[in-house]
Structure 1
C-alpha cells in the first residue's frame, strides 16, 4: 500500500477509536444535534485546513491564518456597521483582503527567500495589529457591536439542520482534492514539496507555485472568516487567536508531513474531524482548557513520531529491496 493510503487509514482508525470511546461513555455524543453542532464547529477550521494543506505539501507553513481571519472579519464588520454597501460587495472586499494577505506571505517566502516560519510569524503580528487599527470604537474605546444585517447573517444559517458552513467545507474539500490530484498545478505543488531543486531544474516556476499556494490559504481564510463572523454575529480583535494551532494540528493528523510532498485534502478533512471530535468530547467531560491544549499537543507529537518512524521504516525497506535486486548480478560478476 502507498504511504499516503496507510497514513490516511491510520487517521481513520484514530477517529473511529475516538468516536467509539466518547459514544460509549456518553449517550448524547451520537445524537443528531451534537453531530450537526460538531460538524459546524469543525467547518471553519476545516476550511482553513484546506488552504494550509496546499502550503504544507509545498514544504511551507502558515502561522498567520488566525490573525488574517480576524483582520478580514473586522474589515467586513466596518463595512457592515458604517456603510450601506451590498453584502456581495463586502464579501468581495473580504476575499480581496484574503488574497492580498496570502500574496504577502508568498512574496516574503518565494521572492525574498525568508523562512516560511519567520515570514508568516511576522505577518501574523502585522495582521493582528491591523485588526486592532480597524477595530470598532466609540469615544476611543473598542466596542464589540452585534451585526444585524440579515443578508450577511444568513451565512450562519442551516438547511434541515445542516449548517451552510458545513456544506461549504465539504464542497471546498472536493474542489481542493481535485486540484491537488487532477491538475498540473497540484502535481507542481507535490513536486516542489518533495524536492525544490529538482522541481526548479525540471522547469517548474517554483516561486509562482509557492505564491499561489499561499494565496489559496488566504482565500480559505476569507471564506472561513465569513462563516465565523456570521456565527458569532460580531467581530472582535481577539477572534482567531490560537486558530492556527488547530488548523495545523488537523492537517498534520490528516497525514501531511512538515517536510512536504505528502498528504492530501481528504486526509486533512479526516484530521479536522478528529480534532473536532476530540475537542467536543473533552468539552463534554469538562476538561479544563489547559488540559485540552496539552492533550492536543500530545496528539500532534504522537502523530509526528509515527510519521518519522514509518518514514524511516519505508526507507530501510526500500534499501533492502534494492540490495536484493542487485544481489544476483553482483554474485554473477564475482564468479
Structure 2
C-alpha cells in the first residue's frame, strides 16, 4: 500500500520559523544595522548626563562652546576619512596632508604675499592632488590602501618639514585664512566660523551620500566590490573620487587649523591621522566598508572630546583619558563585528 506524504508536513516548520516573533537581541541588531549612528548617539547622551552629574560646569555654555570648537578640525577630517572607509579603505596620511596644506596656505601669504583667497585655493589644490595620488596608487597599481597611505604619510610629513624648515608661520588677523577663527555668538554659546563650515561640510557630503548615485555607488563598492563591478559600476572611478572628496575635506580642515593655531605649524595635527579614524570608528562606520553614515563620525568626534573634557573636569589623570578613548574604539569595533555576525 502506498502512502501519501502530507504536503504541509515539511512546510509547516519553515512557516513557523518565519512567523516566529523576533527576539529582543534580533530586534536590537536590526535597529542598529539600519541606524549605524544610533549606538554612538546613545553613548554621547549617556556620557553627557554622567559628566554633568560629576561636575555641573560641564553643561555651562562656555564649556560646551569649547568642546564644539575643539572638534572642528578633527570633525572635518573625519568627513574625508568616512568617505574613504565606506569603500573599505583607510587613510593614514590624512593629517599629514592637512598640515602640509595649512603650511602652504600660510607661507604663501606671509612670505610670498599672495592674496588669502588664492593661497586658500592653492592649499586646496595641493590637498586634493595629494589624495588623488593616494587614489591612483590604490586603483591603478592595486596597492592596499593601508600600505599606500602609510607610505605617503612619511612622504607628506617629510615634505612638510623640508618646506617649513622647522619654522612656524604666524598670520595677522583680518586675513581670510584667519576668518575661521572668528566667533559667532548665539547667546552665551560661542561658535567659530570654522565650526559652521564643518557643519556645512557634513550637510553637503551627507546629502551626496544619501541622495545621489555617487553615494549609492560608494556604498555598493564598500559592501561588495565584485558585485558592484558586475552591476556596471566603475569601481576605480568611485574609489578615486572617494580619495579626492577626502582631499576637499582636508582642505577645509586645513583652513580651520590655520585659524585655530594662528598660522602654519609643522607640529600641529600630530595625532590627527589616528584621531580621524577614531572618530569614524566610534561613530559607527564599519572598517569593513559599506555601512555607516557621515553624521555618525561627527558624533564620534564629539564623544571623544566629551570624554576628554568631562574627565578633565572630574580631575581624572590625563592618562586615563587616553585609556577611555582606547576602550571606546575597541567597544565600537566589537559592536560592529556583532552587527555583522548576528543573523536577524
TM-score between both structures, scaled by the size of structure 2: 0.86
Matched residue, 1:283: 312
Match of 1:148 in 2: 172
Distance in 2 between residues matched to 1:254 and 1:302, nearest whole Å = 11
2:327 to 298, 313, 320: 298
Query: Could you tell me which residue of structure 2 aligns to residue 322 of structure 1?
Result: none
For residues 72 and 287 of structure 1, do their structure 2 counterparts lie closer, same or farther at Cα, with a shift above 3 Å needed? farther
- Provide the residue aligned with 2:53 in structure 1: 24
Aligned counterparts of 2:133 and 2:145: Cα–Cα separation in 1: 12
Match of 2:127 in 1: 98
- Return the alpha-carbon distance in structure 1 between the equivalents of residues 316 and 282 of structure 2: 21
Q: Is the 8 A contact 1:80 1:149 kept in 2?
A: no
Q: Is the 8 A contact 2:32 2:38 kept in 1?
A: no
Question: C-alpha distance in 1, partners of 2:327/2:136?
Answer: 33
Does residue 1:217 correspond to 2:246, yes or no? yes
* Aligned residues between the structures: 310
1:289–1:110 Cα change, 3 Å: farther
TM-score (norm 1): 0.89
**Worse overlay, 302-311 or 145-154:** 145-154
2:228 paired with 1:199: yes
1:94 CA displacement: 0.7
Structure 2 equivalent of residue 262 of structure 1? 291
Out of 190, 193, 199, the position equivalent to 2:219 is 190
Structure 2: distance between partners of 1:127 and 1:53:
21
* Deviation readout 1:24-76 (Å, 9 max, x if unpaired): 11121111111111111111111111111111111100111111111111111
Q: Let me know the Cα RMSD of the aligned residues.
A: 1.5
Residue 6 (structure 1) shift: 4.2
Matched, 1:107 2:127: no
Looking at CA atoms only, which structure, 1 or 2, has the larger radius of gyration?
2
Cα gap change, 1:287/1:225 in structure 2, threshold over 3 Å: closer, same or farther?
farther
Cα deviations across residues 256-305 of structure 1 (Å, max 9, x unaligned)?
10110000112112112111211222333454444332221111011111
Residue of structure 2 equivalent to 1:333:
none
Unaligned runs of 5+ in 1: 318-335
For residues 293 and 44 of structure 2, the distance between their equivalents in structure 1, rounded to whole angstroms, comes to 17
Which residue of 1 is the match for residue 184 of structure 2? 159
Q: For residues 73 and 243 of structure 1, what CA distance do their matches in structure 2 show?
A: 13
Deviations 1:225-249, CA, capped at 9 Å, x for gaps = 1111111113222221111211111
List gaps (5 residues or longer) in structure 2.
1-29
Q: Kindly tell me: are residues 286 and 235 of structure 1, through their superposed partners in 2, closer, same or farther at Cα, counting changes over 3 Å?
A: farther
- Give secondary structure in 2 for the equivalent of 1:276: helix
User: How many Å apart are 1:143 and its aligned residue?
Assistant: 2.9
Does structure 1 conserve the Cα–Cα contact (< 8 Å) formed by 2:33 and 2:339?
no
